[in-house]
Amino acid sequence: MNPRHVLLALAAVVVWGVNFVVIEVGLEGFPPLFFSALRFFFAAVPAIFLLGPPRVAWRYVIAVGLALGVAKFGLLFIAMDHGVPAGLASLVLQCQVVFTLLFAIVVLRERPRPAQLAGIAIACCGLALILVDHQLAAPVGALGLVILAGASWGVANVATRLGKPQDTLRFMVWVSAVAVLPLLALSLLTEGPGNDLEALRTIDLTGVGALAYLSFASTLFGFGIWGYLLRQYDATTVAPFSLLVPVVGMAAAWLLRGERVGLQQAIAALLIIGGMACTVVRRRTRDKADAVERVLAESAA
């Protein structure tokens, strides 16, 4: 992965890490499914009239919309509303790396390099350290919902790779639009229209800011970059970057929400960064070696 694309991936990581704190703040004033529906409404509906059709087969737009918008974020918002704190949610959700790897092997027939597998294993050790440290911080059932959300994200990653959208912004706008009506219907059925209307009636600047961040920074900017990178590289190359999200998420939760970050989390963060170095630095070294070999071959010819 070239340096510009590495920086893009890291930008998405920072946006998504802070995103968990913003979700936690927004859930103080909104029912979870209704909050998610509003997030995608403002990200998508105004923009579809400006951007036009998605230019991707509708089956991929619908698949990613349901897997990413409805399943992943619906489950995540419900889990956080039921007591999973922002830092822990940012950690557990990264099980999507494992699911993405498995789905990519089965569906896309991708063959991960040994360095990628080693890097993911090292980073997962860091994730395990944090998980053990936080194991009593949230209800087990709610944590299970976050794991299901991670599996849904893995499905969305592979579907995006299959769709290969040429215009990732346009693609994410339509993916967001697909999620609005199912989320709204689920909210009306399970949370009730009265609670949804009350949330709108009592909305304040904090709620507006949370919606704006989730709609534009996290959804359009973050997933626009993610989709672009998945079009350029194997899913098994892009997905490990998300292992840095819990590092940013825990740091943001500590700074902004007062969540504890101890020595064990710091050690775990170092393991995660070390694992990421294995997946990125070695790939760049291999790319340079391949380039040298091509130049030598051309010179010999």
Q: pLDDT (tens digit, 9 = 90+) per residue, 285-296?
A: 444 444 433 332
| pLDDT recorded at residue 77 | 96
Distance CA 295, CA 301 (A): 10
- 288 exposed, middle or buried (CB, 10 Å; 0-12, 13-18, 19+)? exposed
**Cα–Cα distance for residue pair 150/75, rounded to 1 Å:** 9
Q: Measured between alpha carbons, how far is 206 from 66 in angstroms, rounded to an integer?
A: 28
Pick the closest to residue 108 from 234, 239, 1, 279 (CA basis).
234
Q: Which residue has the higher pLDDT, 31 or 48?
A: 31
* Residue 177 near residue 40 (C-beta atoms within 8 A): yes
Identify the top-confidence range among 21-25, 172-176, 255-259, 263-267.
21-25
In the prediction, which pLDDT does 236 show? 67
> How many other C-beta atoms are found inside a 10 Å radius of the C-beta of residue 266?
12
Overall domain count for the chain: 1
Q: What is the pLDDT of residues 69-82, one digit of tens each?
A: 999 999 999 999 99
**Across 96-100, 170-174, 295-299, least confident range:** 295-299
For residues 227 and 165, the answer to whether their CB atoms sit within 8 Å is yes
**Amino acid, single-letter form, for residue 34:** F
Pairwise pLDDT comparison (38 vs 258), residue with the higher score: 38
Q: What whole-number distance in Å separates Cα of residue 188 and Cα of residue 275?
A: 43
Residues 6 or more apart whose CB falls under 8 angstroms from that of 239 comprise 96, 97, 100, 101, 104, 154, 157
Distance CA 174, CA 57 (A): 11
Residue 293: domain span: 3-300
| Residue carrying structure tokens 């050790």 | 125
Structure confidence by residue, pLDDT tens digits, 74-119 = 999 999 999 888 988 888 887 787 788 788 888 888 777 787 788 7
CA pair distance 222, 176, nearest whole angstrom: 13
